[in-house]
Structure 1
Amino acid sequence: MIVKKMPILQGFPDFETVKKLSNSVSFDCGNAPVFYDIETTGLSRYSTFLYLIGAVMQENNKWFLHQWMAEKEDEEPEILCEFFNFLTSASSTIQYNGRRFDQPYLEARYKKHNLPSPFGNLPVLDLYQELKPCKDLLKLERMKQPDLEEFLGLDSRLHCDGGQCIRLYKSYIKNPKAEPEQTILGHNQEDLLGLGSIFSMLGYRVLMEGNYQPLKAETDEDRMILSFRLPAPVPKPVSKKGTDFYITVRDQEGALLVTSTDQKIRQYYRDYKAYDYIPGEDTAMPRQLSQYMDKSLRIPATPETCYTWFPCSEAFLNNPEKQAQYLKSTLPCLLSF
């Protein structure tokens, strides 16, 4: 088995950033979070095997990258034992698509070798699941890790992809050579460094959560402009345009522009399944009230029709508390259209 450990000198978020962004999505990473990524000979956790685990953990206020690589198939149990011991001091794990692949795969391999699982009740933060709701906002066709790295403008990968690594590894175990070994380890290292980079994209998830601090509200003819501050920055500016709104966000500040009608604006609600839309009144109504109306006058609300109108008055423009309530209710809805 090949064992490596090296300090990460750049390209990984500092611990305070990791803790702050984790907390912003209601996840307590604790004081010893572990980022990890695995390399396997295929997708099936029953007919293939694990040949490499890479992990990043903090030590003396510095991030260190650890790797355990099997030089032959029968070293898989040894790698699993090493990782079990490694996770004994972990407070949480962070992966990309780890809930659906990495952790279930590892748990199946631990079970196959009659080894105890290291996970237990260890909290898991899956960046794929957290960032998936941001797909449309980020205008991404796919949500694989390299797609997110490309979105961030990262083009520093030098090694082959995962599929090529499998073929290279199978060739390597038949005829061990230094060059394939470095390529395989290098691919895993790039995956882990990429994991650290896309961690900053949790700022987009925070953007969709509704915790905004209003900064300024003003009207301009038939529109309202409301600027706000986020609890965490986004790594790259984003914008979204609809028929009657425009949203732009840069760093830790954003602005929402909405069209008004007769000096009124729409307030949207996320729990649209609890509402009916009343076409004759162009408004939504909670079903606990609309159930008493004739069925011909109401239809189930959709995300786009679940709104009510309210006056964009001076009382609203001068009241940050009301603006915060409006943003918390409406902005996540607009971002999800």
Structure 2
Amino acid sequence: MIVKKMPILQGFPDFETVKKLTKKHAFSEHFVPVFYDIETTGLSRNSTFLYLVGAVAYEEKNWQMYQWMIEDEKEEPELLKIFSEFLQNFSCTIQYNGDSFDQPYLEARCQIHGLPSPFENLLSLDLYRQLKPVKGLLKLSKMNQPSVEAFLGIDQREYCDGGACIRHYKQFASGKKKDAADIVLGHNQEDLLGLGKILSMLSYLCLFEEGYEPLNCEILDEQIIFTLVLSCCLPVEFSNYSEKFYITGQKNRVRFLIKHQNGRLKQYYSNYKDYDYIPSEDTAIPKTLSVCMDKKLRKPAKKDTCYTWFSVTDDFVRNPLKQKTYLKHCLPYYLSTLK
């Protein structure tokens, strides 16, 4: 088995940044994260095997990268045992699509070899799942790791992709190409470093999770312009729009422009199943109130029709608390309409 350990001197976020970006994900104060990525000979958990595990852990005030690669399929049980023991030192894992592939794959291979799951009582942060809401906002055509890295400006990799790595590993394992191990290990290392950089994209979720404060609000012609201060800095500036609004962000500032109709705005509500929409009044009301109305006058509200109207007064423009209440309900709705 090939075992490597090396410090990460640059290209990975500092520990406090990792803690800050992940604190909203139910992690305890005892925060000991480990990033990991695996390489397998295929997708099937029953007919393929695990040949490489890479991990990044914070030790003695520095990030350390670990890699374990087997030289023969017979070593897979030993690799699983080593990584299982390694995981016992941590409180949570951070990976990309790990909840759907990496963790189930490892658990299946452990079960095949009569080993217990190493993930019991271990929390998970799957960056792929967490970042799904920002796909439309950031105009991402795909959500695989290379596409997300490309958005961050990481568009050049030295080593091949995961599919080609399987071929290189088999050449290494068969003894035909011993230097192929460097290619496979290099690919895994790039994936691990990419995880650290992708983590910074959690800052965009501030817009979906009320991680901001209104700084300014003004009315300009037919638009109302909100300026927001985010609790985190964005790694890359962005802009997007629809017929109803325009949004742009840079560093820790976001500008949200929305059209008003004769000085009025729609206040959307996410719990639309609790509302009925009244077409004649172009408004939604709680079902507890509409139950007494003629059924012909109401219909179950949908995501796009669950709103009421309110007038944008001078008090609203001067009151950050009221602006925050409005944005809390409406900003997630408008962002969800971006495809």
Does the alignment reach a TM-score above 0.5?
yes
Helix, strand or coil: the match of 1:135? helix
Give a deviation string over 1:157-190, Cα, whole Å, max 9, x none. 1111111111111121111544200000000001
CA contact (8 A) 2:223 2:258 kept: yes
Asked if 2 retains the 8 angstrom alpha-carbon contact of 1:210 and 1:329, the reply is no
The answer to whether the aligner puts 1:109 opposite 2:113 as a matched pair is: no
Displacement of 1:97: 0.7
Q: Distance in 1 between matches of 2:297 and 2:27?
A: 44
CA distance in 2 between partners of 1:45 and 1:30 (Å): 33
Q: Which residue of 2 aligns with 1:23?
A: 23
| Contact 1:25/1:205, CA 8 A, preserved across alignment | no
Counterpart CA distance in 2 for 1:179 and 1:207 is 46
Report SS of the residue matched to 1:209: coil
SS of the residue 1:249 aligns to: strand
* Matching residue of 1:148: 148
Q: Which residue of 1 aligns with 2:230?
A: 230
More displaced stretch, 175-184 vs 156-165: 175-184
SS at match of 2:179: helix
Q: 1:25 Cα deviation (Å)? A: 4.3
Q: How does 1:31-42 map to 2 (within 5 A)?
A: 31-42=31-42
Q: Number of aligned pairs? A: 337
Q: How does 1:130-149 map to 2 (within 5 A)?
A: 130-149=130-149
Range moving further from structure 2, 252-261 or 91-100: 252-261
Stretches of structure 2 lacking an aligned partner (at least 5 in a row): none
Q: Look up the SS of the partner of 1:146 in the other structure.
A: helix
2: CA distance, partners of 1:254 / 1:25: 23
**Distance apart, 1:279 and its partner CA:** 1.8
Q: What is residue 66 of structure 2 aligned with on the other side?
A: 66
The answer to whether the Cα contact below 8 Å between 2:231 and 2:252 also exists between their aligned partners in 1 is yes
Tell me what 2:78 maps to: 78
Percentage of pairs with the same residue: 56
**Cα drift, residue 150 of structure 1:** 0.8
Q: TM-score, normalised by structure 2?
A: 0.95
* Alpha-carbon separation, structure 2, partners of 1:290 and 1:249: 40
CA contact 2:34–2:93 (8 Å) conserved in 1: yes
* 1:304 CA displacement: 2.3
Specify every segment of 5 or more residues in structure 1 that has no aligned partner in the other structure, as ranges. Answer: none
Q: CA deviation at 1:303?
A: 2.3
2:247 is aligned with 1:247: yes
Letter in 2 for 1:226: F
Residues in 2 aligned to 1:322 and 1:40: alpha-carbon distance in whole angstroms: 52
Contact 1:58 1:64 in 2 (8 A): yes
Q: In the alignment, which residue of structure 2 is the partner of 1:166?
A: 166
Q: Structure 2: how far apart are the matches of 1:211 and 1:310? A: 24
C-alpha separation between the residues in 1 aligned to 2:276 and 2:83? 52
Q: Does 1:90 align with 2:53?
A: no
Distance 2:235 2:65 in 1: 24
| Residues 1:321 and 2:335 aligned together | no
The residue aligned with 1:179 is 179
CA distance in 2, matches of 1:140, 1:214: 27
Instruction: Identify the residue that residue 11 of structure 1 maps to in structure 2.
Output: 11
Compared CA separation, residues 292 and 237, structure 1 to 2 (3 A):
farther
Aligned residue identity for 2:140: L
Alignment RMSD (CA, Å): 1.5
Give the whole-Å Cα distance in 2 for the aligned partners of 1:284 and 1:331.
Answer: 18
Q: Compute the TM-score of the two structures, normalised by the length of structure 1.
A: 0.96
The yes-or-no answer on 1:256 pairing with 2:253 is no
Deviation of the 1:29 alpha carbon: 7.8
The one-letter amino acid paired with 2:145 is Q
C-alpha distance in structure 1 between counterparts of 2:164 and 2:308, whole Å? 54
**Contact 1:27–1:125 at 8 Å: present in 2 too?**
no
